[in-house]
Amino acid sequence: MDKLVVRGGNPLVGTVRVSGAKNAALPAMAAALLSEETVILENIPQVRDIVTERNLLTAMGAEVELGYGRAHHRTTISCRNLVNAEASYDLVKTMRASTLVLGPLVARMGHARVSLPGGCAIGARPIDLHLKGLEALGARITQEHGYIEARAERLKGAHVVFEKITVTGTEDLLMAATLAEGESVLENCACEPEVVDLAALLTKMGAQIEDAGTRSIRVRGVEKLGGARHRIIPDRIEAGTFIVAAALTGGDLAIANCDPRHVGALLSKLEECGVKVAIGEDSVRIASSGPLKSADIVTEEYPGFPTDMQAQYMALATQAEGMSAITENIFENRFMHALELVRMGANIKIDGHRAVVRGKTPLSGAAVLASDLRASASLVVAALVAEGETIIDRVYHIDRGYERIEEKLRSVGAQIRRIGRLIPERAPAAVAAE
Ligand code: UD1
């Protein structure tokens, strides 16, 4: 199994380019299920989860072509001949976002059979709100042998109020509502940029959607959706990870090809920590400006501080002078990285949903274990300032969501290399997170 070996101490200097957003690409690929025509997606990141999604769609009879590099990271999907409306346990257990096929399959095919995802490293993560929403649209839902079955002649527009804000729940229902008969109003929706990007793609396919990006989305169902060509937005979490890495190593780094509006909460917080930030049209430059100061964060739904940046921020807080309180409000068990950071020399106390980091403590390289996608990013970032060598095990987590992270970091001065096999063919089972 691959490991990353990082020798700390180098500031990051130069320019790093951000890839397309994994969390926008996954629902966009699922949206292709809604149409018989071809959907062409550009700026798809070359990460493991995209391969899983490709496998998920091809198992249903879709034709999916993945092109990288000069092919503009273009993916062409044709779902003309779907033969099997099923997402198997084997795939769902490695990637929870597989459940995004549920809404589109019932809407287009009239039925879907999707494995229940089960628990994961960062929390229980049920999908009850997806199911309640689909029931409100008229689907009959049953559960047997660990699978959810959903059936409907044709979905009917409805008024759905999410009890809790859910990103993939909003996306799943949004896709389903595009082919429902009549109008749907979805309330208490997620406003994440990935939801807005999905709505933009669906609109190009012929859907009638108003107010995506607000808490209340209105959808007028249509009979059929067509094909479309769409460019996926930049990955705000990858951008955020480089932003934190630059601030932490005291470098001078331009993060290019990103959307600075999508990382607003992080940038304001870093300014509070004393980091110098310059915002361009599609780039952010982070420059070293003396010692880091502590600042508290609370994770929230967009546009608040993202839970997917909490682990990386914690690594930064270990090097800030003073006490930083980190409150995790989205997932119940998202502090696994803290224990590994402590092994590297951090002073972190956890009390339920709150972690208190006391800095600055020197970090020293150690053998550490990545428990989930963003936890592994946090360990990489911490290793960049640790004394000596850090060996990060279970990097298949990082390969799920970061494109060639070690190459990108090396190109701006980090000492990082991968040992073991190249990217494994399959991630080990039962480790899904995100
Ligand atoms: C998405 C992101 C993930 C991010 C998370 C929160 C993708 C593929 N993944 O995950 O990277 O960390 O948003 O920003 O986009 N919940 C329920 N019932 C449901 C659905 C959710 O109780 O039916 C709860 C969850 O357990 C969690 C909270 O709602 O506590 C938010 O989860 P949700 O927004 O659904 O996360 P995901 O969409 O799975």
What average pLDDT does the segment 159-173 reach?
98
Q: Please work out whether the CB of residue 125 comes within 6 Å of at least one atom of ligand 1.
A: yes
Largest CA distance in the chain: 63
Q: Please work out whether the CB of residue 23 comes within 6 Å of at least one atom of ligand 1.
A: yes
Determine the distance separating the centroid of ligand 1 and the alpha carbon of 419, expressed in angstroms: 33
Q: What is the pLDDT of residue 72?
A: 74
Q: What is the pLDDT of residue 280?
A: 97
Q: What is the pLDDT of residue 431?
A: 45
275's CB contacts (< 8 A; 6+ apart) are 247, 286, 289, 292
Residue 69 CB neighbours (<10 A): 8
The answer to whether the CB of 327 falls within 8 A of the CB of 333 is no
Q: What is the pLDDT of residue 289?
A: 75
Q: What is the pLDDT of residue 120?
A: 66
Determine the distance separating the centroid of ligand 1 and the alpha carbon of 68, expressed in angstroms: 29
User: DSSP string of 160-190?
Assistant: EE-SS--HHHHHHHHHHHHTSBSEEEEES--
Q: What are phi and psi of 359, to 5 degrees?
A: -125, 170
Q: How would you class 235 by CB atoms within 10 Å of its CB: exposed for 0-12, middle for 13-18, buried for 19 or more?
A: buried
What average pLDDT does the segment 164-179 reach?
98
Q: How far is CA 196 from CA 84, 171, 199, 202, 275, in A?
A: 29, 9, 5, 10, 30
Determine the distance separating the centroid of ligand 1 and the alpha carbon of 123, expressed in angstroms: 10
Q: What is the pLDDT of residue 421?
A: 61
Q: What is the pLDDT of residue 290?
A: 86
Among 130-134, 318-322, 354-358, 392-396, the least confident range: 392-396
pLDDT above 80 for 133: yes
Query: What's the chain's length in residues?
Result: 434
Determine the distance separating the centroid of ligand 1 and the alpha carbon of 170, expressed in angstroms: 10
Determine the distance separating the centroid of ligand 1 and the alpha carbon of 216, expressed in angstroms: 18
What is the rounded distance in angstroms from the CA atom of residue 4 to the CA atom of residue 377?
A: 11
What average pLDDT does the segment 91-114 reach?
94
In degrees, rounded to 5, the angle at the alpha carbon of residue 115 between the alpha carbons of residues 114 and 121 is 130
What average pLDDT does the segment 139-163 reach?
96
Q: What are phi and psi of 7, to 5 degrees?
A: -110, 120
What is the rounded distance in angstroms from the CA atom of residue 138 to the CA atom of residue 108?
A: 14
Question: What amino acid positions are annotated as catalytic residues?
Answer: 120
Q: Which two tokens stand for residue 228?
A: 């479309």
Q: Please work out whether the CB of residue 97 comes within 6 Å of at least one atom of ligand 1.
A: yes
268's CB contacts (< 8 A; 6+ apart) are none
Among candidates 141, 117, 111, 212, which has minimal Cα distance to 170? 212
Q: What is the pLDDT of residue 430?
A: 43
Among 59-73, 264-278, 369-383, the least confident range: 59-73
Look at ligand 1, atom 34, and give the residue with the nearest C-alpha. Answer: 166
| pLDDT interval class at 196 (50, 70, 90) | very high
Closest ligand 1 atom to 128 CA = 23
pLDDT above 70 for 434: no
| pLDDT interval class at 371 (50, 70, 90) | confident
What is the rounded distance in angstroms from the CA atom of residue 347 to the CA atom of residue 353?
A: 17
The answer to whether the CB of 226 falls within 8 A of the CB of 205 is yes
Which H, E and C letters describe 10-33, residue by residue?
Answer: CCCEEEEECCECHHHHHHHHHHHH
Q: Which two tokens stand for residue 423?
A: 């990217």
Residue 388 CB neighbours (<10 A): 13
Q: What is the pLDDT of residue 335?
A: 94
What percentage of the chain exceeds 90 in pLDDT? 87
What is the rounded distance in angstroms from the CA atom of residue 356 to the CA atom of residue 241?
A: 21
What average pLDDT does the segment 22-37 reach?
98
Classify 211 in phi/psi space as left (phi over 0), alpha (psi -120 to 50) or beta.
left
What is the rounded distance in angstroms from the CA atom of residue 212 to the CA atom of residue 185?
A: 11
| pLDDT interval class at 405 (50, 70, 90) | very high
pLDDT above 70 for 294: yes
Q: What is the pLDDT of residue 288?
A: 78
Ligand 1 pocket test: pick from 167, 170, 197 the residue with the most ligand atoms within 8 Å of its Cβ. 167
Q: What is the pLDDT of residue 122?
A: 72
Ligand 1 pocket test: pick from 232, 330, 397, 400 the residue with the most ligand atoms within 8 Å of its Cβ. 330
145's CB contacts (< 8 A; 6+ apart) are none
pLDDT above 90 for 79: yes
| pLDDT interval class at 77 (50, 70, 90) | very high
Residue 371 CB neighbours (<10 A): 24
Q: What is the pLDDT of residue 119?
A: 62
Among candidates 60, 49, 2, which has minimal Cα distance to 25? 49
What letter would DSSP give residue 426? Answer: S
pLDDT above 70 for 425: no
More confident residue, 217 or 120: 217
Q: What is the pLDDT of residue 14?
A: 98
pLDDT above 80 for 432: no
Q: What is the pTM of this model?
A: 0.95
What average pLDDT does the segment 408-415 reach?
98
What is the rounded distance in angstroms from the CA atom of residue 162 to the CA atom of residue 148?
A: 20
Q: What is the pLDDT of residue 118?
A: 66
Ligand 1 pocket test: pick from 164, 192, 378 the residue with the most ligand atoms within 8 Å of its Cβ. 164
Among candidates 339, 362, 366, 361, which has minimal Cα distance to 350? 339
Closest ligand 1 atom to 332 CA = 30
H or E segment to which residue 377 belongs: helix 373-383
Computed over every residue of the chain, the mean pLDDT equals: 94
Q: Please work out whether the CB of residue 170 comes within 6 Å of at least one atom of ligand 1.
A: no
Q: What is the pLDDT of residue 420?
A: 84
The answer to whether the CB of 199 falls within 8 A of the CB of 209 is yes
Q: Which two tokens stand for residue 325?
A: 């309180």
What is the rounded distance in angstroms from the CA atom of residue 329 to the CA atom of residue 122?
A: 12
What is the rounded distance in angstroms from the CA atom of residue 423 to the CA atom of residue 421?
A: 6
Closest ligand 1 atom to 168 CA = 38
| pLDDT interval class at 69 (50, 70, 90) | confident
Among candidates 116, 100, 127, 125, which has minimal Cα distance to 30? 100
